[in-house]
Every structure is written in C-alpha cells, then in structure tokens.
Chain A
Amino acid sequence: MTERVSRLVVVGNGMVGQRFVEALRARDTDGRWRVTVLAEERRPAYDRVRLSAVFDGVDAGELNLHTPDAGVDLRLGEPATGVDRARRVVTTAAGEYPYDALVLATGSYAFVPPVDGTDLPGVFVYRTLDDLSAIREHARGRRTGAVIGGGLLGLEAANALRLLGLATSVVEFAPRLMPVQVDEAGGAMLRRYVEELGVTPYLGVATTALRTGPDGTVAALDLADGRTVDAELVVVAAGIRPRDELARVAGLPLGPRGGVLVDASCRTADERIWAVGECAAVDGVCHGLVAPGYATAEVVADRLLGGAATFPGADTATKLKLLGVDVASFGDAHGVTPGCLDVTYTDPATRSYAKLVLSDDARTLLGGVLVGDASAYPTLRASVGGPLPAPPLALLAPAGGAGAGAGALPGTAQVCSCNAVTRADLDAAIAGGATDVPALKACTRAGTSCGSCVPMLKQLLDAAGVRQSTALCEHFDHSRQELFDLIRVRGISTFSRLVAEHGRGSGCDICKPVVASILASLGTGHVLDGEQASLQDTNDHFLANLQRDGSYSVVPRIPGGEITPEKLIAIGEVARDFRLYTKITGGQRIDLFGARVDQLPQIWRRLVDAGFESGHAYGKALRTVKSCVGDTWCRYGVQDSVGLAVALELRYRGLRAPHKLKSAVSGCARECAEARSKDFGVIATETGWNLYVGGNGGFRPRHADLFATDLSTAELVTLIDRFLMYYIRTADRLQRTAAWIEAMDGGLDHLRSVLVDDSLGLCADLDAAMARHVTGYSDEWRDVLEDPDRLRRFTSFVNAPDVPDPSITFTQERGQPVPVRGTPPDGGHRRQPVVLGLPEVRR
C-alpha cells in the first residue's frame, strides 16, 4: 500500500467504543488507520451490562473487555475536552490529537431529576464500577436504601442494595415496574416477585425531595403523596441521557431528544466525524441497548475502510433475569400497531404472565411480553413479523408442555445443523408429499449426517398432521417392542424366519441391526454366529468403530476407568507397534484409531493377552461406568464409587440395547463423575446410594431424574437390572432412556410403579433375564480370536489377503498419525445445497 496512514481518534472506551476499535483493527489489514483512544475512566472497557455481577461475588476483572493491541494508543483517564473541527484536533487536559477521522463513543450519563437533595452524600448513580465501589462503601453499617426509578436499571440497583443487606424500596413515577418493557399485567406479576424478595415498591408517585439525617448524609425521601421513605443510601436510576456535549460545543447538529445526530451511515454533518453507541442519534433516535450500539460500531468500522454499510435498524427485544425473575419483551410489546390484538395468559400458580400482540387478522406475531417464564422467548422472537408457529395458547403454556417440540419452531430455525436444513425447508418437503422420515431425508438431507435431528423430523410430520405408523420399516408392520415380544414369546432365533413369518422382502439397514440387537439382548449366541453376522452393522460386524477414512478404532474395556500401570503400558505398546492414534475418551478409557480390518485380530490378540476385553464402543450396548476416585482417596468421598462402578460395568458389559448406554458413579454429592448426565447414574449418600435415570449428553443434553434414594448396594443393583431390562424390551429403535421415559404414559411415576411396586407383575421375569445375561456373558473378541471361521472375515481383500488397503494413508499431526484428508470423489457432494422451491407455509 502506498496510501498514507490516516489518524483516527476515538473518544470513549465503553463497550461500543471498544467493539468499534476491535472491528476496525480486525479488518484494517493494510494498517490504514493509526488509532488513538481517549477514555475518561481509568479502567479499560468492561462489560457494563453485567455490572451488577460484582455484587454476586464476580471479580471486577472478569468484566474486562479490553485486549491489549499494540496498534492502538489507549489513553486512560484522559477525557476529551473539546473538538476543533476547523483544525481537525481533539483537545484533552494533556494536549492535542489531530485527526483525519473522529469517532464519538461517549455513551450516556445517568439522568438525575431536578429534585432537592440529589447532591447529598449517600446519593449515587449506577453506571460505572467506581459508582458500585462507592455504593458498597457507603452501605457499610447502614440499614435502609432506596432506588429512584423502577425500570430495568432501577431493579438491578434494588437487587444490589438488597444483596448489600439494606431494607430496599423502589420509587417509580409510572404506575408499574419496568414501564418501558412490560404492560400493566406484566408489571403486576413483577411487583409480586419483587415484594416477595422484600423490596417495597412505591408506584405512580414522584419523589419530591431528599432529606438529610444528623450526620449530613441522606436519610429519607419525601414522596408527592405525603409519604416518607427511610433511605440512608439512595441510587438514582431514572434513565440515561446521551453524552453529546462535545458535539454540541463543536456546533454539530443534535437529535430532537439529544444525541449526536447521524445518518444511517452513522456519520454526522461533518464528514470526518462519526458517532456510535448510546451517544448517537441515528436518524434522530438514540438506542440505549448494547446490541444496536454494536451494530453502529460495525457500520462505522466498515465505512472507514471504504465499505457502504448502513444501520440495520434496532432490535429492541430484551430478555433478562431481574431479581431472579425472567423478563422478556420483544417487538411491539405495548400493542401500538393499529388494530392489533392481545392474547394474554396469567397463571398465579406458576406465577407467570405472558402476552402476545397479534396483527388484526390474528395471523402475524407483532410482539409480546413474558414475565416469570421466558422459555418461549427464542421461538417467539424469531417469529416476530411472521406467522404464529403454533396456536397462541400452546405457545404461552409453561415450558414442558407440548408446545416445546419442533412443532413450535419458526420457519427460519435450523432443524438439521449438519446440512443447514430449516423448518421451512422441511415443511415445504412435507407439503410436497414427503410423508415419512426417509422421504424427508431423501429430499432435504436433514438427518442424513449425524442423525440427531431425526426425532424432530417425526415431530414436524406430526405437527403437519401426517399420520405416521409405528412400523419399523417397509419390511415389518411392527414396532421394535412388538418385534421384541414376537421373538421372545415365539422363540424365533433367525432373521430369515422372522421376516418370512411376520414381515416381507429381504430386510434393510434399519430392521436387520434391530433384529440383531434383539437377538443379542435375548442371549442367543455370538453376534457373528451364522446368519446373525449378516445382520450386523459394520461396527458390530468387525467389532470396532468405523471412521471416516474406512479405518476402525479400538476401545478396550477399562472398568470404572481404573487401570494398572502394566495395562497402561500394554495399551501404549500396542498403539506404538501398530502406529495407532490414541485419545482419552469421555468415558475414562483409551481409543486407538487408524486400524485396518486386517490388523484388528492382531491388535486384539495383543490386548487379550494383556488381560483386556471388548469395550463394546462399537455396539448399541453398555459403554462405560465412569467414576470419581471415591472415599478410598478423596477427602470428601463417602462411598467406594470406583468399586461400585467396576462392579456395575462388569455386570452389564456386553448388554445389547436399543441405543448405547452410559453410566457413572459419584462418591459424594459433589458429583465429579457427572452421573446425572448418564442413562443411569449413581451418587453416594452418607447412608447408601441415590439412583438417577434418563440423563444424557449429546444433541439434547438432559439431566437424569432422581429415581430412588438411600439404597443399599443390593437394592440398587436390582433396580438397575429391572430398569435396563424393561428399557431393552420396550424402547423404540435408537430411543435413548431419556426419550423412552418421556414418551412413557405416566413417565417416571409409572416407571417407579413397574420397577419398584411390580405393578405389571414383570419384575421376576426382568430379574431372570438379567441373571441370564450376567451368567451368559463372554468376551466377543476372545471368542473371535479362538475361531478361524470368524477370523477369516478380517481381511481387506478377499483375493489378496496379504495386501493392506492402499486407500488408508496417514499424515502426522501433533506427533500422531491422522488420516490424509482428500476431497470426496464427486467434489464434495455432501455440502451442496438442495433446491426445494420456495418454502410454503400452510395455514
């Protein structure tokens, strides 16, 4: 670049000023601008939105937003005092700063109403970290406090005073709290919450004067209705005003209600001067939220580098937790659109209030207010300006109802994030005739990569009124549970007999592995025996996990995550000798990657000789029982969590199920083993074990629910036996325990009645089934190594057994082998978008 370097002066280092500098620096790769920042505060930019967090024990340092940048001359504690537009110079107490461009990012100041006594000691505003330090200092030894202003900031300040131990009052001139965000009914709900926290609101009344006590500091507020409120500390939070004094003195035009007047490009009447954030009146309007402020920062950064960005308009939607209450407001929250309709929902039991503002034909969502339960906020906010995602009542019902499913998602929501398929794409496909999940997969690709959105595809079909059969696939009209019962009751042991007697066709990649899993759960011999071998997915067929390059990974079982040094060394030697990539898994074991099929038996020969057995990482089966170190070592442990984890893992190893099963045991309530994220988790108590069921990580993380408490080890094992066997018998294909319980009529209570009270008379049968599993277990890999017929399958090429697969090649990364990444043969087919035509929304 031969262009000369230009001088940029930024006045203000608040959140928006900082964002602006970062945005500009990130894009100014040619170094066109030399940046000077003049800041009033002595502290570099910090997160003012989270200011109140310091009263919750957050260190002020954690709010820091500033990262040092050698290309920026940041001058703290040196506020700008004037701008000479003719000479293009900004002045401070220390000197002058010439500029080619000047960006004003001076923010706002707290508005203090003209009331007698606001200058008394003990009266504060709530704007900076220094303000908060002063409030904390003054609160020491005092008992009462008051906040003037019941808006968003006022309620935050009230909570702060409460946390400082003051009996707190809030005085608000409007007849309700948070008048800008919520309507009257929402304000009433909010008032109840606030009162319960011990904060006293005075609404619809003005403060007329602040009075002093004997020590000369503030002692009370006089209200317009004659009442007096004791307050030894007062915070004024009556709104903010833009800091436009530099612009005013420099003769720049201001907005009708103050603020530096700028156009949509955020430029003032002076082409070299710009304004961002709360001090900017964009087309005459100031925005007091950080999101629109950030938008102005991006606009100016773009413009200074030759771009043509314009302010996209402000999204005033807000969601926050105030005094522990969720409050959200979005769109036309007050219903000012002509002819608009309100739908409101008030539930005193759950103490929630919600209002939706709809267009006059009740079809378009214009805005809304949520108090108490704001779980619908993301869905609703995304739906503003568009059709309602569901009938209003379903949307407003508290979370946990049917409204929470995929049916409530807006058209723009991405259902399949692997292939970027939105709800609208899927709805269009359904409208176009897709009537089941495979059809949806075929025409949109949703669910074809990781598959975790498949349950949502079903929900969308339900939502569209498409009746879906419980048939497993085109070869069976039965659900998995029905097939399980058929196979068990009739003693069927082969797929060919099952499909001949109860199905049609020759099966597919859906029903074959399901039947293989059922046969394995019922303990009918080795998974690679006879015809069963042809039913197994490639993972079960090679007893290893297929990876993207066609190689496999190997996971030996390490029960409870406990391993001897000798065994660790053995794994290390195997990995070294076969040049495998090694990684510690989340289940406290070691995964060895990059094995060719012909290497698997050699690797396992070594592992079995060293005392290892299959870890079933390849199967829909028990994976691991993770554990913390327990009371053997830990100062806090109250039970032997490792011992129990090892026993459970050995008991349930090899158990085939509708989906993978994970477990963990924690030795005390600190829960270091993360048992509540598992299908069945155990947490030690002083007197026994608590059992939790139905947790999982993954795409839809869920904490397990407490199922039974203070169990002896024998009681615990019996309950887990029954839980697993009942799950294996009755769950759908690929349905994890969480979804299984959720779908169960009566949910957890029903499960308890079946497994604890034996309400269905099944328990003896379930207990016997598990006993058969435990006694019938044998290591699949040891069995394979002992059988030449099974070993024969482990070759790369049937006609060249000695030739390793030449397509599996490795490169080195961080000292380990990793697959060479090539382009897919058709040039990356997987990433191509699918044209669906215009999405159509049916009413």
Chain B
Amino acid sequence: MRPVVTLDWTPVCPLDRLDPDRGVAALVQDVQVAVFRTTDGLYAVDNLDPVGGAYVMSRGLVGSRGGVPTLASPLHKQVYDLTTGRCLDLPGVTLRRHPVRCRDGLVEVRLRQEE
C-alpha cells in the first residue's frame, strides 16, 4: 500500500542542480519520482518502470517523437509521452505523472493521487 498522499508541494533540489535533458530521482514522501529538465520545461513522473518493474526511469533518455516530448525506459527502451504519461510503444501502459514547478529557484513536486 502506498502511504497516505497529501497534496503539499515538496522541494526537491535547486533548478541548476538539474542538467538539461537529464533526469534525477527524488524521494517525495517516500515515493520515488523522476524529475527532468528539458528545453520545454520540467517534467516529473514515477521512477518505477511500469514494464520492467525497476526504479530506473530517471536514468532514461529524453527526446521527442513527432513533436511530443518523450522519455525512453533505460531497461527495454519503451518510449513514453511526457505530457500524458502514455506509452507510445505498448498500448495500455502508462507512466504516472506528477505536477512539478520551479519556485524561487527550487524545483518542487506534488504527488498526484492514485487515479
């Protein structure tokens, strides 16, 4: 069971700690979240690879497919749409996204409740 989810924003790290187009993993109320900084902005998704079952999504490569910003799993390369979390290679697979913002130079994440 996941812990009770509150809707507070959790500071993760200074913005300049994020390398462009590279992810980091963060612990947000005991949930592993992968945070990315791309030219389009910030993205936060579950660090858990929904296909491979390991906590590795922060180590995937970001890019684009048909104009949509994407993230590829480092395990078996399934590509996800960062704007919706939908897997573009496997129907029915989704990566949970989390709200993320930058406040006063700090990157903050708010866990999305179970859908």
Contacts and interface: CB of A to CB of B under 8 A. Distances in A.
B27 to A, nearest CB: 5
B56 A797 contact: no
B75 A800 contact: no
Contacts of B59: 538, 541-542, 546
Given A799-B13, A807-B32, A538 B74 contact: yes
Contact of B50 (A541, A823, A826): A826
Interface string B53-89: 1111001111111110110101111110000000011
A442 B90 contact: yes
Contacts of A549: 54
A800 B79 CA distance: 28
Contacts of A505: 63-64, 67
Contacts of A348: none
Contacts of A546: 56, 59, 74-75
A512 B22 contact: no
B76 A798 contact: no
B89 A512 contact: no
Nearest to A819: B54
A820 to B, nearest CB: 11
B55 A830 contact: no
B26 interface: yes
A569 interface: no
A474 to B, nearest CB: 7
A829 B51 contact: yes
B82 to A, nearest CB: 11
A825 B53 contact: yes
B64 A507 contact: yes
Given A474-B66, A508-B70, A533-B19, A798 B13 contact: yes
B26 A508 contact: no
A799 B63 contact: no
A805 B47 CA distance: 11
A7 interface: no
Contacts, number: 118
Given A506-B38, A534-B22, A829-B50, A448 B76 contact: yes
Contacts of A799: 11-13, 26-27
A800 B53 contact: no
B100 interface: no
A449 interface: yes
Contact of A797 (B20, B26, B65, B88): B26
B48 interface: yes
B26 A538 contact: no
A68 interface: no
A782 to B, nearest CB: 22
A144 to B, nearest CB: 66
Interface string A472-509: 00110000000000000000000000000000011111
Contacts of A548: 52, 54, 75
8 contacts: A505-B63, A509-B79, A546-B75, A548-B75, A799-B11, A824-B52, A825-B50, A829-B90
Interface of A: 438, 441-442, 445, 448-449, 474-475, 505-509, 511-513, 531, 533-535, 537-538, 541-542, 546, 548-550, 793, 796-800, 803, 805, 807, 822-826, 829-830
Interface of B: 11-13, 17, 19-22, 24-27, 32, 35, 38-39, 48, 50-56, 59-67, 69-70, 72, 74-79, 88-90, 93
Given A505-B64, A829-B51, 20 more contacts: A442-B89, A448-B77, A474-B65, A505-B63, A507-B63, A509-B61, A531-B20, A546-B56, A548-B52, A548-B75, A549-B54, A550-B54, A797-B25, A797-B27, A798-B13, A798-B24, A798-B26, A807-B55, A826-B50, A826-B51
Q: 8 closest Cβ contacts across the A-B interface?
A: A508-B63, A509-B72, A824-B53, A550-B54, A538-B74, A534-B21, A798-B24, A538-B59
